[in-house]
Amino acid sequence: MSVIKLTGGRVIDPANGINDQVRDIYVKDGRIVAALADGDKVSAEYNVSGRVVMSGAIDMHTHIGGGKVNIAREMLPEDHRGDPVARTEVTRSSCGYCAPGTLAAGYRYAEMGYTSCFEPAIIPMNARQAHMEMGDTPIVDTGGYAMLGSDDFLLRMLVANEDQKSINDYVAWILHSTQTLGIKVVNPGGISAFKFNQRKLDLDEQNAYYGVTPRRIIQTLTRAVHELGVPHPLHVHASNLGVAGNVDTTLATMEAAEGRPIHLTHIQFHSYGTEGDRKFSSGAARIAEAINRHKNVSADVGQVLFGQTVTASGDNMSQYRNAAFASPKKSAVMDIEMEAGCGVVPFKYKDQNFVNALQWAIGLEIFLMVEDPWRIFLTTDHPNGAPFTTYPHLIKLLTDRSFRNAMLDTINPDAKAMSNLAALEREYSLYEIAIMTRAAPARILGLTDRGHLAPGAAADIVVYTENADRERMFEKPDLVFKDGELVVRDGKVVKVVRGNTHVVKPEFDRGIEKKIEPYFRRFHSVRMNNFKISDDELCECGGGSKLIPHACGKRS
Amino acid sequence: MTNEASSTVVTEVACPFCGLACDDLSVDTAGEALAVVGGGCAKAQAGFARLGVSHDGASARVGGQPASLEAACAEVARRVKASAQPVFAGMALDVGGMREVMELADAAGGVVDHLYSEIGWRSTRVVQDVGYVTTTLAEVKNRADLIVLVGTDVVSKASRFFERYVWNDEAMFEPAPAARRIVYLGGGLNTAAGQSPDGRAADVFDFDRARMPEALSTLNALLAKQPVSEAAPLGIELARWQALVEALRAAKYSVLVWMAGDFEPAQVDLNINAIMSAVRALNVTTRSNGLGLGGADGELNASMVHAWQTGYPMRTSFASGIPLYDPVHNGTARLVEQGETDTVVWISALNDKTPPPPEAKVVIAPPTLKLEHEPEVFIPVSTPGVHHVGHFFRGDKGAALPLRALRATRLPSAAKVAAAITAQLKEVSA
Amino acid sequence: MSALVLALRNAPAQRVDVGSLNPTALAGLSLADIAALTLSVGKRTVRVDDLFELSGDDSSDVVFRGDCSKLERIGAGMKSGRVTVDGDAGAYVGQGLLGGDIVVKGSAGAFCGTGMKRGRIEVTGDVADFAGAAIPGDMKGMAGGLLLVGGNAGERLGDRMRRGQILVSGNAGDYCGARMIAGTIAVAGKVGAYPGYLMKRGTLILNALPAQMLPGVVDCGSHRLGFLSLLYASWKGLPGPFGALDASACTVRRYMGDMGVSGRGELLVRGG
Ligand code: SF4
Ligand SMILES: [Zn+2]
């Protein structure tokens, strides 16, 4: 039995309404407890008085595992050469800046105080690989969202006008079979359309073969996820990624949810207007206004930060188009297993490039104009907007207006002129940062024992020395505990532990397999039973990760 | 249904004996050896029969003498520790085996090299240099209308390609599978499998396959509507080349298939690069995709795990404490020949046929592997998909299949052996 | 002042990255500082003076002695000065060279001159495969400067070369100028199969074509190209056959290719 005491810290725990109160925290066997029982002996006490204590941070959208990320790693030896992670007594060697190896990713996340990371785009057929990669991402908890919406099975169900219940059963079956925590839709129906040689697909445009529109896919899937009681709303990568004028599509996509919960991911890439000489403008104000008005909508930003990165997406329709802008000039585009696709395109965001600079400003505008920090999430869509290691810098941009405006003065002047960023006075407080990076992601994912510090919570705890320079503060926590184990001291990994895997297991009618099994035999490349990942197998894929299922409250 | 006591037949078994990883095998576990009674092919039958025994009596050896597993692992750890530059070669492993070998290789400051890496690094070079536009087997099964096999017949290495993915009873989209058009680029290939069920022979461009650059140069020139220097490239009249180009342009979902190991080694990346050039040109107006097949002997298990853990492909040296990637210089054969390694550790759980290099001082392999020289340490291991569960990446990267445990054995898995050596190594260091 | 001589005590068994031992990186360091720098030999970390016997004091003029065929990245990234190898050198000689001179009095390993931007590398013997070529994942090989080869070159000479000149007095191997983007390669001897495979732009100056040519490299007839006389004149006095070319002999047979990938590369066959 281990009992840890963190003494005298300034606790910021928004999930429990605690804002900068001095409290002691007790940890017993990996969990936070209210107080010690008789006979408990404190095995380690940490005097953290004057220091800021938060729960471990949660990245709800980061591409850390699965096929496309591994393609990016293989593609970019030049990315890795300058960013080695040396072997130490406790850690293994690895490398990579924007496409790091899983070992490097896990260590670096932990060293920034992140204790949970979620891979948002798992092609069902690729779920094993995603879990293996996440299993080899040390220290942090993981989980993922399964991609549907361009899979031929669902599209055929829609064409056949199958009832919502059957669709719900299929969606639940996918969640079980892939051992995931949510459902993602990427360019709804568009990845399928690309296989039929369609090069764009608007929200109300029909897939050339199936006749199904993206709107219908979103309606059906938001309803399925909601009715199954999956905590995380449908995770939507909307149509027309990166296209000037896509703000209208994005607003219409919010409406397509018909009031049901919907999460719009990397919304920065979907917030573009067509004003100005270059027909590219910020749609941030309209997007923020709509999010403020629609309480059913949440979003993560997908902030762009300047420098070299690599974009990796399931949206091969967009990525095929973006390949023309690849830097360096190489790209990989794949159609995958009648389920989806992927596209990997290296990209360099330049502060003197009008479009890139405006993208940077648009992301920040959205952050600052969305009022409710519980519904806007801090992401760069790693590595699409920038690698996750830029988060401390992003936090500084959000918390420090003068720093932000100084940066704004250095970007492309035409982009600066097109942005209202300079007028936005808001500075995020530490409390709001804690909401955005801890309490809110835990809540929107249904992780009841993460993202807060009340008794019963897992002891994922981070201790920072407060520093007016928030970048310095957040890039190097003093202490990080994972499930009660001290894993990072002074920003360096001191112990490597294995994180858990978070999943949901909604109730459903197994009878759906009578339809799925013959489909696999006729059209797929594997048998249904070899597609499904059992709990035991997941544990093996995860290299021994513990499975944490989260409750679903069925709503139909 | 072949067996009365059907309980001894396990169905929907995935096969680890080539890169196709067919998962429709029925394997009878009743006899002394495993018997494939449904699905499968000759290679699968032979593999399950040869390896699918319990290997009773096989024991580790040190210096040719029987030794305990522990003692053998300790001896390997000692040698690896003392080595100036160890190399871990072979690597015909499942994912789990590879994961453990990676930990060992890092701790030992070694290099990891798969038996096909000499081709593999050149093939990986394509994604590093230009990228690709590719597809996977389920897409081929349902969408392909024109399949061009570039310098390969596939079936010599992966016999069930046409059976499972081309001449199916039905496809989800047009055309019906029987109407698919098959073209072979290159002579000396087994083209029988490319004949359609209704007897339509494949279109064969018959030429010396070492001259593949000429064929690809011709196709790319014609696709770009540019002239070529000859009236009959490779002795085949230009009109036929032109007709192929028109067919590719007219196809809705053409697929250009290659197996890197079937190209001249020096041409691998350039030829694939040229194929990608054609595929990209076609995608301006229609859909066309490449399909690189490979993955036998766990090649992708090794390459995928290596890339995700460290960021780099194989042939990366961990000697200095940080990964240094140099596929040209870190091949086992070269390191041996140039005297840069003093310790070759051969690890292979899936392949009991390829002999390790004579310099391999340590061999960790199935007991059925015939050795020409007695290595200093031999550790017999079980085989994934036969004796223990595991995972296997299919050669198109489209899927990782779960492997089953069908036969009990007392032998340890390669993963277990690697982990034991790592543990010993860390003890030696501590 | 005399040249800083690094004489190998024993040839190392493993490859050693000695890129840091170049005039630019060593500038301002005392002999003791240099002796104390560390290098990796396999799993071992050694001091420079464990590996080399040091003498001399002019670090702008570095001389490697002994069997240097395991020494990699000799002169890599240096901006000025001179590095001499008395004997064979390993791979990546002059990688990313920015200026100065490297002379190898022997043969050099693979990827000689990869990524060099300026400066000059002279190899009196042979260069192995991929001289002036891109390493895997790099978008360009040699990007400027001059690479002189007294002997033969291996395969893929100038693969993805972006700028600069490579002059080979002997023969060149297969796929010479493959995927070339720009720059000039001249070969006095024979070239192997398929020069200009996937070549986009750039110039190969050859004495004869090999039997194995690509159909996508097409004959564009005989031409008298004025720029050649300027080029030849600029080579005047260089060691080897190119230093003595008749600047008026500018008539060549011109081939263009590889037609499928822009086709603006040119193969100029002298005397055509
Ligand atoms: S084709 Fe390959 S995977 Fe399929 S059964 Fe034969 S050996 Fe096994
Ligand atoms: Zn994303």
The pLDDT-based confidence of B2 (bands split at 50, 70, 90) is very low
When pLDDT is averaged across residues A232-248 and rounded to a whole number, the result is 97
Nearest CA residue ID for atom 6, ligand 1: B41
Question: How far away is chain B from the Cα of C165, in angstroms, using its nearest Cα?
Answer: 22
Of A493, A512, A528, the residue at which a domain comes to its end is: A493
Residue A413: count of CB within 10 angstroms of its CB: 12
Among B36, B41, B50, B394, name the best residue to mutate to test ligand 1's pocket (greatest count of ligand atoms within 8 A of Cβ): B41
Does residue B244 have a pLDDT over 70?
A: yes
For residues B206 and B336, membership in a common domain is answered with no
For residues B22 and B67, membership in a common domain is answered with no
Given an 8 Å threshold on Cβ–Cβ distance, is C215 in contact with B214? yes
Residue length of chain C: 272
Nearest atom of ligand 1 to the alpha carbon of B20: 3
Does residue B430 have a pLDDT over 70?
A: no
- How many angstroms is it from B235 CA to the middle of ligand 2? 51
When pLDDT is averaged across residues B400-411 and rounded to a whole number, the result is 97
For residues A475 and A418, membership in a common domain is answered with no
Of C66, C93, C122, the residue at which a domain comes to its end is: C66
For residues C114 and C148, membership in a common domain is answered with yes
For residues C46 and C176, membership in a common domain is answered with no
Between positions 166 and 205 of A, the ones with CB within 8 A of B are 194-197
List, in order, residues 6 or more apart from A33 with CB less than 8 Å away: A26, A27, A455
For residues A162 and A203, membership in a common domain is answered with yes
What's chain B's average pLDDT?
Answer: 96
Is residue B365 in some structural domain? yes
The pLDDT-based confidence of B428 (bands split at 50, 70, 90) is low
Question: In chain A, how many domains are there?
Answer: 2
CA distance linking residue C206 with residue C266, whole number of Å: 11
DSSP A415-439: HHHT--GGG------HHHHHIIIII
Which residue of A73, A75, A76, A78 to mutate against C (max C Cβ within 10 Å)?
A78
For residues A170 and A208, membership in a common domain is answered with yes
Residue C246 pLDDT: 86
When pLDDT is averaged across residues A490-501 and rounded to a whole number, the result is 97
For residues A35 and A150, membership in a common domain is answered with no
For residues C256 and C130, membership in a common domain is answered with yes
For residues B278 and B306, membership in a common domain is answered with no
Q: Is residue C110 packed enough to be buried (19+ CB in 10 Å), middle (13-18) or exposed (0-12)? A: buried
Range of the domain at B89: 60-118+297-429
- How many angstroms is it from A311 CA to the middle of ligand 2? 9
- C139 contacts on A by Cβ (under 8 Å): 328-330
For residues A180 and A273, membership in a common domain is answered with yes
* Residues with a CB atom less than 6 Å from ligand 1: B 15, 17-18, 20-22, 40-41, 43-44, 158-160
Nearest CA residue ID for atom 4, ligand 1: B22
Q: Which of B84, B223, B224 sits opposite C42 (nearest CB)?
A: B84
Is residue A193 in some structural domain? yes
What is chain C's pLDDT, residue by residue, as a tens digit (272 residues)? 899 999 999 999 999 999 999 999 999 999 999 999 999 999 999 999 999 999 999 999 999 999 999 999 999 999 999 999 999 999 999 999 999 999 999 999 999 999 999 999 999 999 999 999 999 989 999 999 999 999 999 999 999 999 999 999 999 999 999 999 999 999 999 999 999 999 999 999 999 999 999 999 999 999 999 999 999 999 999 999 999 988 788 999 999 999 999 899 999 999 86
Count A/C contacts: CB-CB distance under 8 Å: 9
When pLDDT is averaged across residues A155-177 and rounded to a whole number, the result is 98
Is residue A100 in some structural domain? yes
Is residue A500 in some structural domain? no
Question: Does residue B400 contact residue B391 with C-beta atoms inside 8 Å?
Answer: yes
Q: Is C145 helix (H, G, I), strand (E, B) or coil?
A: strand
Amino acid letter for position A442: A
pLDDT digits 0-9 by tens, B193-220: 999 999 999 999 999 999 999 999 999 9
pLDDT digits 0-9 by tens, B105-122: 999 999 999 999 999 999
Q: What CATH number is associated with residue A458?
A: 2.30.40.10
Is residue A438 in some structural domain? yes
For residues C62 and C78, membership in a common domain is answered with no
When pLDDT is averaged across residues A435-455 and rounded to a whole number, the result is 98
For residues B314 and B406, membership in a common domain is answered with yes
Q: Does A530 touch chain B (CB under 8 A)?
A: yes
For residues B268 and B143, membership in a common domain is answered with yes
For residues A86 and A42, membership in a common domain is answered with no
Does residue A140 have a pLDDT over 60?
A: yes
Question: How far away is chain A from the Cα of C203, in angstroms, using its nearest Cα?
Answer: 22
Question: In chain C, how many domains are there?
Answer: 2
For residues A348 and A470, membership in a common domain is answered with no
Among B12, B13, B20, name the best residue to mutate to test ligand 1's pocket (greatest count of ligand atoms within 8 A of Cβ): B20
Residue B1 pLDDT: 42
Of A493, A508, A524, the residue at which a domain comes to its end is: A493
Question: In chain B, how many domains are there?
Answer: 3
Of B225, B255, B282, the residue at which a domain comes to its end is: B282
Q: Tell me phi and psi for residue B335, to 5 degrees.
A: -60, -40
Given an 8 Å threshold on Cβ–Cβ distance, is C13 in contact with B124? no
For residues C20 and C82, membership in a common domain is answered with no
Residue A275 pLDDT: 97
- C137 contacts on A by Cβ (under 8 Å): 75-78
Question: Does residue A514 contact residue A467 with C-beta atoms inside 8 Å?
Answer: no
For residues A430 and A484, membership in a common domain is answered with no
Please tell me the number of the ligand nearest to residue A314's CA: 2
Given an 8 Å threshold on Cβ–Cβ distance, is A73 in contact with B311? yes
Residue B429 pLDDT: 61
For residues B394 and B302, membership in a common domain is answered with yes
Question: Does residue B278 contact residue B216 with C-beta atoms inside 8 Å?
Answer: yes
The helix (run of H) or strand (run of E) holding residue B118 is helix B117-129
Residue B117 pLDDT: 98
- How many angstroms is it from A250 CA to the middle of ligand 2? 16
For residues B273 and B304, membership in a common domain is answered with no
What's chain A's average pLDDT?
Answer: 97
Of C32, C50, C66, the residue at which a domain comes to its end is: C66
For residues A83 and A13, membership in a common domain is answered with no
Range of the domain at A41: 3-55+450-493
- B111 contacts on A by Cβ (under 8 Å): none
For residues A418 and A467, membership in a common domain is answered with no
CA distance linking residue A206 with residue B385, whole number of Å: 44
List, in order, residues 6 or more apart from C60 with CB less than 8 Å away: C23, C27, C80, C81, C82
Is residue A102 in some structural domain? yes
Q: What CATH number is associated with residue A302?
A: 3.20.20
For residues B92 and B213, membership in a common domain is answered with no
| Partner chains of A (3+ C-beta pairs under 8 Å) | B, C
Residue C1 pLDDT: 84
Among B22, B26, B34, B164, name the best residue to mutate to test ligand 1's pocket (greatest count of ligand atoms within 8 A of Cβ): B22
For residues A39 and A115, membership in a common domain is answered with no
- C77 contacts on A by Cβ (under 8 Å): none
For residues C111 and C80, membership in a common domain is answered with yes
Count A/B contacts: CB-CB distance under 8 Å: 190
For residues B270 and B337, membership in a common domain is answered with no
For residues B214 and B149, membership in a common domain is answered with yes
The helix (run of H) or strand (run of E) holding residue B80 is helix B69-82
When pLDDT is averaged across residues B154-180 and rounded to a whole number, the result is 97
ipTM over 0.90: yes
Is residue A19 in some structural domain? yes
Question: Does residue B21 contact residue B401 with C-beta atoms inside 8 Å?
Answer: yes
pLDDT > 90 in chain B, percent: 97
CA distance linking residue C230 with residue B330, whole number of Å: 43
Question: How far away is chain B from the Cα of C3, in angstroms, using its nearest Cα?
Answer: 30
Is residue B4 in some structural domain? no
CA distance linking residue C254 with residue A165, whole number of Å: 71
Instruction: Tell me which residue of C149, C181, C185 sits closest to C165, measured CA to CA.
Output: C185
For residues B324 and B419, membership in a common domain is answered with yes
For residues A335 and A468, membership in a common domain is answered with no
Range of the domain at C103: 73-270
Is residue A551 in some structural domain? no
Please report the beta strands in B338-415, taking only residues with DSSP state E, as ranges in sequence order: 343-348, 360-365, 377-380, 390-393, 400-403
Is residue B66 in some structural domain? yes
For residues B342 and B267, membership in a common domain is answered with no
- A104 contacts on B by Cβ (under 8 Å): 311
